[in-house]
Amino acid sequence: MSYLFTSESVSEGHPDKIADQISDAILDNFLAFDPHSKVACETLVTTGQVVLAGEIKSDTYIDVQKVVREVITKIGYTKSEYMFEANSCGVLSALHEQSSDINQGVDRGALEEQGAGDQGMMFGYATNETDNYMPLALDISHRLLRELANIRRENKEVTWLRPDAKAQVTLEYSDDHTPQRIVTIVVSTQHDEDVTNDDIKRAIKEVLIPRVKAQLPSHVQELFNDDIQYHINPTGKFVIGGPHGDAGLTGRKIIVDTYGGKGAHGGGAFSGKDPSKVDRSAAYAARHIARNMVAAGVADQMLVQVSYAIGVVEPTGVFVDTYGSAKVNMTDGEIAKKVTELFDLRPGLIEKNLKLRQPIYSETAAYGHMGRAAQVIKKKFERPDSGQTEVKELEVELFTWEKEDRVDDIKSAFNL
C-alpha cells in the first residue's frame, strides 16, 4: 500500500537559523585565525537582542559584535520595522573559557590519540532517490526556500518579501519506496504590511514554483501535478516574523539540518561547535560513509550509526541499516564490519580526512548540512589587532563529507 512522507525546511531568516548562522560565523572567525580553537557557541535571538553564551579556548581574539552584525545584515534584517535590525540590535556576550576537565580528555598531542569531545551517537543517511542522495521531500523543501531568498534579494518580480519563511513538502511513495507524486506543498513567508493573500499565492505559484521546478530533473518535474494541495500563508497574514515574532536558539532545527525525518538523529546539534565535538564531525563522517556506500551500489538506502565515549579515541560501536535494500549478499552486521575496516572513525582522523579545521561552517548553517555540493572557495576574515585590522584570505573546501571519493575503494571491498 502506498504511503505519505513529509519533510520541512526553514529559511535563513527563521529565528533559529539566524542563531545557527551567528554561532557558525563566530566559529569560522576563530578557526580562521587559530585552527586549533575549541568553540561551543550558543546564540539566542529575540526582539532587538542577541545573546551569546558558551565556551571558547583559543589563542586569538575576534570582534564578536562585528561578526554578529555582519551575519544579520547578510540575512536581510536591515529595516527598523522588522524590530530586529543589524545595526541597532543589542549584542550581549557571555562566552567564557572551555572547561579544563573536558579539554584534558580531548587534547593529547597526536591527532591519532585525540579523544571524543563528548559521549553520544551520531547518524548518517543516504538514499538514491535523488542525485545528491538526499530524501526528495527535504531536497524540494530546501530548494523552495533557497529560491525564495533569491527572489527576495533580486527584489524585481516580488518586492514585498521579508526574510522569515518555512516550507513543507508531502510525497506519496509506492510500496517499493519510489516517489509517485507531490501531494501537498506548504509555504509560509513573511511579507510587508500592505500585501494581500492573493498576491502571496500568486507569487508562490506563478514565480517560485516554476523556478524551483526548472532546477529539477525531468523525472522529478513529473511529480508536480494539477492536484497538488497548496497551503500558502494558511493563517492569512505573516507580517510579524523573525526574532520579533519568535525567539530563536542555536540547534533547534536539527532535523532540517540533516535528513528531514528520514533515517535517524542522535539528538546533537551542529552549529557553533568545532570539529572536536563528535556531535558534528562524526555526523559528517557517517553521512560521508552512507553517501559513498549508496553511490557504490551497496544498497539503495543506508543508515550508519557511530557512537563514542567522552575522551575515548575509538568509537564504541558502528551500526548499519540498509532497510532490506542491500545489493550485496551480506547481512547489515557484516556490512558494518566492512565499514569499520574501510573508514577510520577516530575523531582526530575524521578532522584530518574531512579537512574540518577550516573555517567552512557558515555555509552549512542554512538549507541543510547534507546534500550540498563540495566546492573550493575563497573567504576573507578580519580581526582587530593592536589598533589595526588584520585581514586573512583563505581558500577552503566546503562540504567535504559530500565527496564521493571512496566509491572505488568500496566497490573493490564488496566486489561490485
Known binding-site positions for L-methionine: 55, 98, 246, 277
Residue 101: active-site member: no
Kindly name the residue from 252, 265, 287, 291 that is annotated as catalytic.
252
Q: Which residues contact 146 (CB under 8 A, 6 or more apart)?
A: 367
3-state helix, strand and coil shares in percent for the chain, rounded to the nearest 5: 35, 25, 40
Task: Indicate which residue of 8, 16, 147, 402 is catalytic.
Answer: 16
Catalytic residue among 20, 24, 42, 139: 42
Please give the annotated binding residues for ATP, written as ranges: 14, 164-166, 237-238, 246, 252-253, 269, 273
Q: Is there a catalytic annotation at residue 55?
A: yes
Catalytic residue among 53, 247, 309, 413: 247
79 in active site: no
Give Cα separations from 33 to 67, 341, 353 (angstroms). Answer: 14, 35, 21
The number of angstroms, rounded, from the C-alpha of 181 to the middle of its chain's C-alpha atoms is 26
**Catalytic one among 38, 143, 273, 406?**
273
In the residue annotation, 81 being an active-site residue is answered as no
**Per annotation, catalytic residue among 277, 287, 291, 346:** 277
Please check whether residue 372 is in contact with residue 24, taking contact to mean a CB–CB distance below 8 angstroms. Answer: no
Q: Which residues line the annotated binding site for Mg(2+)?
A: 16
Chain-centroid distance of CA 188 in Å reads 20
Q: Which of 20, 118, 279, 402 is catalytic?
A: 279
| Distance set, CA 34 to CA 60, 62, 359, 392, 394 (Å) | 6, 11, 10, 11, 13
Is 404 noted as a catalytic residue in this protein? no
One of 143, 152, 166, 369 is an active-site residue; which one?
166
Q: Which of 17, 244, 369, 383 is catalytic?
A: 17
Q: What are phi and psi of 311, to 5 degrees?
A: 80, -5
Do 397 and 360 touch, CB atoms closer than 8 A? yes
Q: Residue 373 catalytic?
A: no
CA angle 218, 219, 224 (to 5 degrees): 90
Is 306:315 a contact under the CB 8 Å cutoff? Answer: yes
337 is catalytic: no
**Annotated binding site for K(+), which residues?**
42
Residue 273 annotated in active site: yes
Q: Which of 70, 172, 199, 246 is catalytic?
A: 246
Q: How many CA atoms lie within 13 A of 318 on its CB side?
A: 23
- Given the residues 34, 53, 55, 224, the one annotated as active site: 55
246 a catalytic residue: yes
Distance CA 41, CA 205 (A): 39
Active site residue 277: yes
Which residues fall in the annotated binding site? 14, 16, 42, 55, 98, 164-166, 237-238, 246, 252-253, 269, 273, 277
Q: Is 252 known to be catalytic?
A: yes
Catalytic center residues: 14, 16-17, 42, 55, 166, 238, 246-247, 252-253, 273, 277, 279
